[in-house]
Amino acid sequence: MRFRNFLLALAVAAISAVSVSAQSAREAISEDALRAGGVYYMYPFADHKVTAPPKGYTPVYLSHYGRHGARYLLNETQYERSLGVLRDAHEAGALTETGEKIWETASAYFEETCKYRAGDLTPLGWKQHYSIAQGIYKDNKALFKKRPAVTAGATQVPRCIVSMTAFCQGLLKMDPRLEIFESASRFDLDELNPHAKENPRRESPQMEEGRYKRTDPWGTKLGGFIDARVDYKAISGRIFKDPYFPKPYRGARAFVTDFYDLVFNMQCTGTERSLLWFFTPEECYALWEVNNYIHYMEAAPPATMRDLPAFENLIADADRAIAAGKPAVRLRFGHDTCFLFLVSMMGADGFDIVPESADGISATWFNYRAPMAATMYLVFCKNRGGDVIFKLVVNDVEATLPLEPVSGPWYRWEDFKAAHI
């Protein structure tokens, strides 16, 4: 299986490099500072092209994986680690003038928008999946007109279940005659979120040894990686009269990280309030680079293989659906780490490149490619001779893979399997 051998992955990197987008992460974040929020970035709805299959091929199966839509911060603790420190500093008279402005905005924002909603899907998250579903229907009318059997599965996390419901309602808006079966079962966790502790197969004897270990392939020290990029004391000093005020609250580094989450998550909630003005452009990029590194360790081979069952299930499901000979659609709703793992395993647009050091991650691997409501799907087509081709679409954009294409973004399914099995 690809990525199991680090040295092999390095060799693959040299071959795959030609597929990397010309726009750097620094340029992308300069163009839109909200991208510095990484996985808090909102789905980039945009005009896109749809390349039809070569002549003689007709669609037979669509295999989808979607991240839940926009959400509030994960839990109350995340809010407390930023707002709680600001509150205590405000009450102690320990905030600078800038800090008081931040507290005024942040406290009002929390009371108006976020209180009692931690971890929930936001109204924007609902709208995202409702709209994405309609876009997928329009882009794949030839398949949906065949009235395919549609099955949808979500992890048992409420925001994923509600995202699934919004998506399915979007499809039914396009064609009320579609029959859709929805479920949220532990049985499906191997294909939806394998590393979840609720997954009954996680501790199976068949589990590959070391799969759940997350290891920096280069032996990078996280503290050094962070401190080389972000001056946490300077940032803290603009908020607190004493930059060491957060020390009893896990320290300045932890506070700034939590405050970063609060600031960039605001885009997900529909609020008109903003604190993005506080960070300089260079700080936005540096904070993103740290956040991007952390996500790489959680989601990208060879740092981890914990979500490998989802990739294996995707291949097996496609083979079963194609062999059944009936048009079908499989929808999956899960989380950012599994989404990023799948895109990396497929080598979409250079996402399989392994840099020579952790410093090179941000040149080819961007966690804002898993925005809120991130969506990828494969469309499979077959000709009368039984030849199967497919294309991969990531966030509405047809992806380039490290394979010889049949035509445009279309690749042979057997070539893909031969490269990954």
Q: For residue range 101-146, list pLDDT tens digits in order.
A: 999 999 999 999 999 999 999 999 999 999 999 999 999 999 999 9
Torsion of CA 270, 276, 277, 279, to 10 degrees: 180
Whether the Cβ atoms of residue 82 and residue 106 lie closer than 8 Å to each other? yes
Whether the Cβ atoms of residue 212 and residue 327 lie closer than 8 Å to each other? no
In degrees, rounded to 5, the angle at the alpha carbon of residue 407 between the alpha carbons of residues 401 and 413 is 55
d(CA 383, CA 259): 54
Residue 24 belongs to domain with CATH number: 3.40.50.1240
**Could you tell me the residue range of the domain that residue 415 belongs to?**
6-72+123-203+298-420
* Last residue of one domain, picked from the residues 245, 280, 315: 280
Sign, CA torsion 27/40/81/219: negative
Residue corresponding to tokens 């092209």: 49
pLDDT for the residue 150: 98
Domain identity same for 337 and 387: yes
Domain identity same for 127 and 187: yes
Report the mean per-residue pLDDT for the chain: 92
pLDDT for the residue 421: 79
Any domain includes 208: no
Q: Which of 1-5, 66-70, 111-115 has the lowest mean pLDDT?
A: 1-5
pLDDT for the residue 330: 98
- Residue 282 above 70 pLDDT? yes
pLDDT for the residue 279: 97
Neighbours of 176 (CB within 10 A): 7
When pLDDT is cut at 50, 70 and 90, the band that residue 211 belongs to is low
Domain identity same for 149 and 272: no
Domain identity same for 65 and 81: no
d(CA 355, CA 363): 8
When pLDDT is cut at 50, 70 and 90, the band that residue 6 belongs to is very low
Find residue 328's DSSP bridge partners.
61, 149
Any domain includes 290: no
Domain identity same for 45 and 166: yes
Any domain includes 288: no
Q: Which of 22-26, 210-214, 225-229 has the lowest mean pLDDT?
A: 210-214
- Residue 1 above 60 pLDDT? no
Average pLDDT on 371-375 reads 98
Average pLDDT on 60-78 reads 97
d(CA 172, CA 115): 33
When pLDDT is cut at 50, 70 and 90, the band that residue 7 belongs to is very low
When pLDDT is cut at 50, 70 and 90, the band that residue 212 belongs to is low
Any domain includes 192: yes
* Last residue of one domain, picked from the residues 280, 310, 328: 280
- Residue 205, preceding peptide bond in cis (omega within 30° of 0): no
Domain identity same for 84 and 138: no
Domain identity same for 377 and 248: no
Average pLDDT on 29-47 reads 96
pLDDT for the residue 14: 35
Domain identity same for 359 and 257: no
Domain identity same for 53 and 167: yes
Any domain includes 30: yes
Any domain includes 211: no
φ, ψ of residue 167 to 5 degrees: the values are -60, -45
What would the two tokens of residue 42 be?
Answer: 């909102």
- Residue 12 above 70 pLDDT? no
Domain identity same for 31 and 94: no
Domain identity same for 27 and 140: yes
Nearest to 36, CA basis, from 335, 292, 394? 292
When pLDDT is cut at 50, 70 and 90, the band that residue 10 belongs to is very low
pLDDT for the residue 317: 98
Q: Enumerate the H helices of 181-251 as residue ranges.
A: 189-192, 222-227, 232-239
* Last residue of one domain, picked from the residues 249, 280, 311: 280
Sign, CA torsion 412/416/419/421: negative
Average pLDDT on 243-258 reads 95
SS3 391: strand
Any domain includes 289: no
Any domain includes 285: no
What would the two tokens of residue 229 be?
Answer: 């990029």
Average pLDDT on 206-210 reads 50
Angle of the 123-139 helix axis to the 158-174 helix axis, nearest 10: 40
- Residue 204 above 60 pLDDT? no
When pLDDT is cut at 50, 70 and 90, the band that residue 201 belongs to is confident
Domain identity same for 134 and 243: no
pLDDT per residue over 158-171, tens digit each? 999 999 999 999 99
Whether the Cβ atoms of residue 112 and residue 149 lie closer than 8 Å to each other? no
Query: How many domains are there within the chain?
Result: 2
pLDDT for the residue 210: 54
